[in-house]
Structure 1
Amino acid sequence: MREIPGAKPVPLSQLTRAQDRLTFVYLEHSVVHRDANAITARDARGTVHIPAATLGALLLGPGTTISQQAMVLLAESGSTAVWVGEHGVRYYAHGRTLANSSRLLEQQASLVSNRTSRLRVARQMYAMRFPDDDTQALTMQQLRGKEGARVRRLYRLHAERTGVAWERRDYDTSDFAGGTPVNQALSAANTSLYGVVHAVIVALGCAPGLGFVHTGHIKSFVYDIADLYKANLTIPIAFDIATRDVADIGAETRRTIRDHMKDGAFLETCVRDIKTLLTTSNETVEYGPDAFDNPDVVMLWDYNGRNVTGGTAYGDDLPEEPE
């Protein structure tokens, strides 16, 4: 059989796990290409090399041109490309998953498809944000009310802390510059957070659209998970940025978010929280069972609740069907 043309994929055993990767790199007005196992970005200032296998999300902003070979390398490395708008305040598309096992995805689909388990996970999400409150008996309406009051209180407290004038969260995705400085910073910070969380979700093989609190949008689960971190990450950073005299609020906000995430602790937390919400044990294997030995293992579903081995000719003991 003829060998498949092109560069060979990076062996799965050599890839960096999702929680150990860089968070994201934002590029705009540059040409993105490939040099061996590195992504290159070239603009008027020169060329930089980015190790693809250690990258979580590559945010591609306006004016970026990316080659087919660069996308091939990102896909083979399990890195996620996210196409965003100017200032990173719009999301357009993302790349592929790093996982070969569907276990987390199946567990997510099972939990979200049952009203009892979906409410249990939603309560667990709110419990992560309200560690001192008992949320187990609250309805979804009560949980939403607590969250709304909590966010309004946070906005008010950070406005008082920083001295930034605050009325309400108000933004227009088609007019980034039309918002107040703090609203611009909040938009840029949240979009950066969504990109990183989105990268983790798809890297783990989960479905971004199967949310427990949010619903009806292709990024519902992204919004669910991102909401766990806004109080301690994007909201205080946005108010801090709004106090500074900066030429580009979007760029400054993204850099600050990146600096808070670059030690890798955020990715570890995000991966752990997703697995905690979707599993009942710590036995989940990120890349699937025996993934390093056989990354393309496929099982067959059986009605009795167990899986059987695929790639097997079943029915050898049965008589042949008449032609």
Structure 2
Amino acid sequence: MDDLSPSDLKTILHSKRANMYYLEHCRVMQKDGRVLYLAEAKRENLYFNIPIANTTVLLLGTGTSITQAAMRMLSQAGVLVGFCGGGGTPLHMATDVEWFTPQSEYRPTEYLQGWLSFWFDDQKRLGAAKAFQLARLSYLKQVWQASRELKLEGFDVAELASALDTFVERTEKASKPADLLLTEAQLTKALYKHAANRTQKNGFKRQHEADDLANRFLNHGNYLAYGLAASCLWVLGIPHGFAVMHGKTRRGALVFDAADLIKDAIVLPWAFVCAKENVTEQEFRQQVLQAFIEHKAMDFMFNTIKAIALQDDSEDEITEQQR
């Protein structure tokens, strides 16, 4: 059999890739045409392969380094690389350390052009923000109704019907982004209360600096969602600064808008469930990543953002694409 070159292999779409990797205390390098990471053991050095063709995001945590050759191969494979703190949090992309975003002259332009066609119009941008919020709610209903595990834990969309109806009504009537942010905060508060009641976390308060498991898992899971969102926007060629809700001048704010599409549906309930079961951070991370795959979070994110970019921003059209 003749040897295969990389150009002979079919590229896996980012929306279909399976993996997000977090590495710590290792060295990432290129060796024999592959990207490996080296972990030092007591008596020997251990090399492990990273399947870059099937990877969306590579997070490098405490005690990591990466070679230029490995970075070049990751760039060619379209893998988004970022540095983060121990355990996957905090994700430094939100502060001073930028993500390495590999560039390609073949990235699509239609989605950026579509995005800019409405972004400078206040009312059209508000319409896009509303589409994000309605799609977010649609996905939450879809995931919670389809997840047998969440049903067994007591997560029931029907019990939140009043809060969800109010959310839709206020979203549709919103006249400025600040109204949407207030409505979003009220919905999130209701979801936290529902999740806390179902997992015996009465009195729970969302505090980013708190050290209890639920808050830590929420932080961790949200950063994983930010990784998917950043990867999705990069692949579509839409700069992270063109946000529709989180502020026009906040660097990277569109990442937060996109991540919100999946956070409530997946990260929020599993953060509470895993905190109740007192699992490790690694086990929580695996659970969330598995849920992303099971419920096609990446596909949903791509379809929603593509639809909005091309001005197919009604709830019915976005929901139809999901199906």
The interval holding the TM-score normalised by the smaller chain is: 0.7 to 0.9
Of 213, 216, 219, 2:252 maps to: 219
> 2:89–2:220: 8 Å Cα contact kept in structure 1?
yes
Cα offset for 1:158? 0.5
Corresponding residue for residue 111 of structure 2: 104
Q: Does the Cα contact within 8 Å between 2:118 and 2:125 map onto a contact in 1?
A: yes
Matches within 5 A, 1:62-141: 62-92=62-92, 93-94=98-99, 95-97=101-103, 100-131=107-138, 133-134=168-169, 135-140=171-176, 141=178
Which residue of 283, 291, 297 maps to 1:260?
A: 291
Q: Which entry has the higher C-alpha Rg, 1 or 2?
A: 1
Do the aligned partners of residues 281 and 120 (structure 1) sit closer, same or farther apart at CA in structure 2, a change above 3 Å counting? closer
Q: 2:261 aligns with which of 222, 225, 228?
A: 228
Partner Cα separation in structure 2 for residue 259 and residue 179 of structure 1: 25
Q: How does 1:30-45 map to 2 (within 5 A)?
A: 30-44=26-40
Q: Secondary structure at the match of 1:106?
A: helix
User: Which residue number in structure 1 is paired with residue 206 of structure 2?
Assistant: 169
Structure 1: which 4+ aligned runs deviate by more than 6 Å?
none
Relative to structure 1, the CA distance from residue 142 to residue 75 in structure 2 (aligned partners, 3 Å threshold; closer, same or farther) is same
State the SS of the aligned residue for 1:232.
Answer: helix
Equivalents in 2 of 1:196, 1:59: separation in Å?
Answer: 11
- CA distance 1:156–1:143, change in 2 (3 Å): same
1:17-65: CA deviation from partner (whole Å, max 9, x where unpaired): 1111124111111111123553212214632212212210111111111
Please report the RMSD computed on the Cα atoms of aligned residues, expressed in angstroms: 2.4
Once the two structures are aligned, what percentage of the paired residues are identical? 24
Is the Cα–Cα contact under 8 Å of residues 23 and 264 in structure 1 kept in the other structure? no
Deviation at 1:222, TM superposition (A): 0.8
Q: Name 2:150's counterpart in structure 1.
A: none
Q: Secondary structure at the match of 1:56?
A: strand
Q: Which residue of 2 aligns with 1:55?
A: 55
Aligned to 2:21: 25
2:221 alignment partner in structure 1: 189
Query: If the length of structure 2 is used for normalisation, what is the TM-score?
Result: 0.75
Taking structure 1 as the reference length, what is the TM-score of the superposition?
Answer: 0.75
- The unaligned stretches of length 5 or more in structure 2 are 93-97, 139-164, 314-323
Question: What is the CA–CA distance in structure 2 between the aligned matches of 1:264 and 1:125, rounded to whole Å?
Answer: 18
Pairwise CA distance, 1:11: 4.1
SS in 2 for 1:101: coil
Structure 1, unmatched stretches of 5+, are: 1-8, 173-177, 283-323
Q: Provide the rounded CA distance (Å) in 2 between the counterparts of 1:197 and 1:97.
A: 17
Q: Kindly state the Cα deviation for residue 109 of structure 1 after the two structures are TM-superposed.
A: 2.7
Residue pair 2:107, 2:235 contacting (<8 A) in 1 also: no
**Cα gap change, 1:89 to 1:166, in 2 (>3 Å):** farther
Distance change in 2, residues 1:40/1:264 (3 Å): farther
Tell me by how many angstroms 1:143 deviates. Answer: 2.2
